[in-house]
Amino acid sequence: MKYMLIWRATDEGLASLANVDFEKMLETVGRFNEELIRAGVLLAAEGLADPAESVVVDNSSEVPVVTDGPYGETKELFGGFYLLNVASKEEAVEWAKRSPLIAPGFKTEIRRVTTIDEFPQDNEWVKKERAWREAHGQL
């Protein structure tokens, strides 16, 4: 099963990183990544740029509204993710507990990634996506 570990942080948590030596942080995260690789569970991992560089497209009206920057009021921002292939939710939880981002204001949300097999297989769009995935070695 695939699970996404989503790193989230409050503004205070992100601000606390300003005092952390960047090389030390890279080493700490690198060691964690190496553990995931050795265990054979890592599928992908990415961090996100500063929220100030973001753009928000609000689709709640007929004409989408585009604004710069993060949402107006945020309590926690999505800062990066790991995509793991593990046997169970419990295993994903165990990996999240080992996260190198251990500080006030940091959380890891764990979400199961649905598979194409969970959708109606006779649907035209599911068939097209399945064919694309097969052609690109994703199934």
Does the pLDDT value for residue 70 go beyond 90?
A: no
Q: pLDDT value at position 123? A: 95
Provide the pLDDT confidence category of residue 128 given band limits of 50, 70 and 90: very high
Looking at residue 92, which CATH number applies to its domain?
3.30.70.1060
Number of domains in the chain: 1
- For residues 128 and 130, give the distance between their C-alpha atoms in angstroms, rounded to a whole number: 5
Mean of per-residue pLDDT scores for the chain: 89
Burial of 122 (0-12, 13-18, 19+ CB in 10 A): exposed
Does the pLDDT value for residue 103 go beyond 80?
A: no
Q: Print the domain residue range for 39.
A: 2-135
